[in-house]
């Protein structure tokens, strides 16, 4: 084989190797939004807490990659997907890590996931809906929409008259 043909063959071979290497790099890149849970299924209402909206629960395996992802995908029981972008990632002195993000086009929205000692909890506030994320039986994770009408009502705080002083009334707020 002549020198020019060997050079062309070597160039083609190195181009092929480089192309295959780039293809492998592209395939190994993480998805744009990591799913918060995998193996998701509808959770029976009997497994939801009293303050959950009926029919709103899903259950699955928490995706460990979500702890450090730049963006997360939350799958809802009705099939919709909410996508949040990370704003902060915090690790405290106890070793707990917290992922904090927001949803594009939803001012005031918030997603927070905290993992401590292998257990992840959190919440999502999207529009008028709030979702809780909590551990479930068998090491799985549960996510459900909170029904505000099912939340326990807080009793007003009443301070003893001796703590109120002359200007405050019995409600403790002086109003």
Element (H, E) at 132: strand 129-135
The yes-or-no verdict on residue 24 having pLDDT over 50 is no
Cα–Cα distance between 59 and 139 in angstroms, integer?
Answer: 10
Q: Considering all CA atoms of the chain, what is the largest pairwise distance in Å, rounded to the nearest integer? A: 106
- Answer whether residue 27 shows pLDDT above 70: no
Q: How confident is the model at residue 6 (pLDDT cuts 50, 70, 90)?
A: very low
pLDDT above 90 for 18: no
pLDDT for the residue 169: 52
Residue 116 in this model has a pLDDT that exceeds 90: yes
Give the pLDDT score at 10: 43
Of residues 109, 111, 105, 108, the one with CA closest to residue 89 = 111
Query: CA separation (Å) from 19 to 8, 26, 50, 101, 129?
Result: 16, 10, 56, 36, 47
Lowest model confidence (mean pLDDT) among 45-54, 79-88, 104-113, 164-173:
164-173
Q: Flag whether pLDDT at 154 surpasses 70.
A: yes
């Amino acid at each position: 084989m002549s020198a020019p043909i060997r050079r062309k063959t070597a160039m083609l071979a190195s181009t092929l190797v480089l192309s295959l290497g780039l293809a492998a790099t592209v395939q190994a890149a993480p998805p744009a939004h990591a799913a918060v849970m995998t193996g998701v299924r509808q959770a029976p209402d009997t497994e939801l807490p009293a303050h959950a909206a009926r029919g709103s629960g899903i259950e699955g395996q928490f995706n460990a990659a979500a702890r450090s992802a730049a963006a997360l995908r939350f799958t809802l029981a009705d099939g919709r997907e909410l996508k949040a972008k990370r704003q902060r990632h915090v690790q405290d002195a106890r070793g707990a890590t917290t992922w904090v993000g927001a949803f594009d086009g939803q001012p005031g929205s918030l997603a927070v996931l905290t993992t401590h000692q292998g257990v992840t909890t959190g919440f999502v506030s999207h529009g008028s809906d709030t979702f809780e994320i909590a551990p479930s039986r068998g090491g799985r994770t549960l996510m459900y929409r909170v029904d505000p009408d099912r939340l326990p009502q807080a009793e007003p705080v009443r301070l003893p008259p001796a703590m109120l002083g002359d200007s405050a009334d019995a409600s403790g707020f002086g109003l």
